[in-house]
Structure 1
Amino acid sequence: MAASPLLSLVRKDLVMEWRQKHTLFGVLLYVGSTVFVIYMMNGQPVDKVWNALFWLTQLFVAVNAVAKSFLQESVSRFRYYYSIVKPQTFMLAKMIYSLVLQTFMTLVSLILFWIMLGDPITQNGLFACVALLGGVSLALVFTFISAIAARANQNTGMMAIIGFPLVTPVLMILGNLALKAIAPVYQPGWWTLAGVLALFDGLVVVLSVILFPFLWKE
């Protein structure tokens, strides 16, 4: 029974996303046009440039697709949710919804990169796993930031202020993790970086569950 409100909230967000197809298709159009412009301007880049462009694309996809998860909720709707579910349940539902959406966008981006910008990767399976892990990390971070911005009178500028110091180390770690799948030589410290990223994701989830009830009451 405890999982029922959580699943209902996740389903509600997914149904709303599907009904508002213009938003979803807008992000897909953004991904496709970005990859196409990169191809027209630079052709098929070398491996390290390919890697950097992929993660920059994922950053902007997360900003456009995931960061709006809380900002699209009105004040009156927040009050309604406040009366029917616990704040922790609401926060976890938003995170799961963001994970599903960002994972889908990451897979689409990866396929488009492989098709249009070549495949400089030596271990495609490993890079796909890193890409999905990166999608999880970006989804968690931007959901957390979106929650803070939404409760700060819908202040989108707050997202840029808080997001930069949180997202920058995540992207640096993901870029270095992806090098193992691209570079033909051994990259030391890979598991250490993966562990740091996993700990960071866990910390974001814990902080979200602890801090969001205080934001919820405002």
Structure 2
Amino acid sequence: MKSPLSQIIALVKKDLLLEWRQRHALFGILLYVFSTVFVINLMVKEPEDTIWNAMFWVVQLFVCVNAVAKSFLQENKGRLLYFYSLVHPRYFIAAKLIYNVLLMILFSGVSLLCCILFLGNPLIHPLYFLAVVLLGGISLSLLFTMLAAIAAQASQNAALMAIMGFPLVMPILMLLTGISQSAFAPVVQPGLPGMFALLAGMDVLVIALALILFPYLWKE
């Protein structure tokens, strides 16, 4: 029997292969990023720091919803039953979490590049903002992966994910906008370590909930 790590890696490779075979969806999300940022440029040219920051995280949110949600919603009941007979549910959800984190890191980099190209570069600390963007992409992907897993067990109800996601994603977005605002200021804001610790704690909680609850969801 294969080790848990090898099973998780095999599942991640499977998702990468399926993504490449259905790359029209991948290119569709990239087109969405380019077109959204370009339209923002037509409307506001080079926005102020706070508007730039807010626009970026709005783009990130919708990119995450479109990129992560389909990872579970595209799985039919027969395929899920087949995977249930092959691997443990925790390995399956762990592979989904890892795959969606990698996917969101890619789209986060693309979104940041597009915003800098079309909306200007008001960043005073670009490396700090890049680190926040990567952490934010990871946090959003973890949360929406868990929500997509729940929605997939509710007759593929994507509306359920949106309803549950709204109150859960607001604290994360408020944290991310507050943390990332320091990248536009010459002086670092106080309280940043505590906000980073809170964001990391929320990520750990989401991962723990996904690993604990998903096996029970999959039995249904």
Q: Are 1:195 and 2:197 an aligned pair? A: yes
* Paired residues for 1:37-116 under 5 Å: 37-116=39-118
Q: Are 1:120 and 2:118 an aligned pair? A: no
Q: Is the partner of 2:157 in helix, strand or coil? A: coil
Measure, in 2, the Cα distance between the counterparts of 1:184 and 1:145.
Answer: 37
Per-residue CA deviation, residues 13-53 of structure 1 (Å, 9 max, x unaligned), is 01110111110000000000001000011101011100000
| Aligned residues between the structures | 218
Measure, in 1, the Cα distance between the counterparts of 2:184 and 2:36.
Answer: 22
Q: Are 1:24 and 2:39 an aligned pair? A: no
Q: Is the partner of 1:186 in helix, strand or coil? A: coil
Q: CA deviation at 1:67?
A: 1.4
Measure, in 2, the Cα distance between the counterparts of 1:120 and 1:144.
Answer: 34
Task: Report the AA paired with residue 150 of structure 2.
Answer: I
Measure, in 1, the Cα distance between the counterparts of 2:4 and 2:109.
Answer: 31
Q: Is the partner of 1:66 in helix, strand or coil? A: helix
The percentage of counterpart residues that share the same residue type is: 53
TM-score by length of 2: 0.98
Structure 1 residue ranges, 4+ long, deviating more than 6 angstroms after superposition? none
Structure 2 regions of 5+ residues with no counterpart? none
Structure 1 regions of 5+ residues with no counterpart? none
Measure, in 1, the Cα distance between the counterparts of 2:208 and 2:4.
Answer: 19
Measure, in 1, the Cα distance between the counterparts of 2:4 and 2:24.
Answer: 33
Task: Report the AA paired with residue 93 of structure 1.
Answer: A
Q: Is the partner of 1:67 in helix, strand or coil? A: helix
- Using the TM superposition, name which of 184-193 and 59-68 deviates more: 184-193
Q: CA deviation at 1:149?
A: 0.1
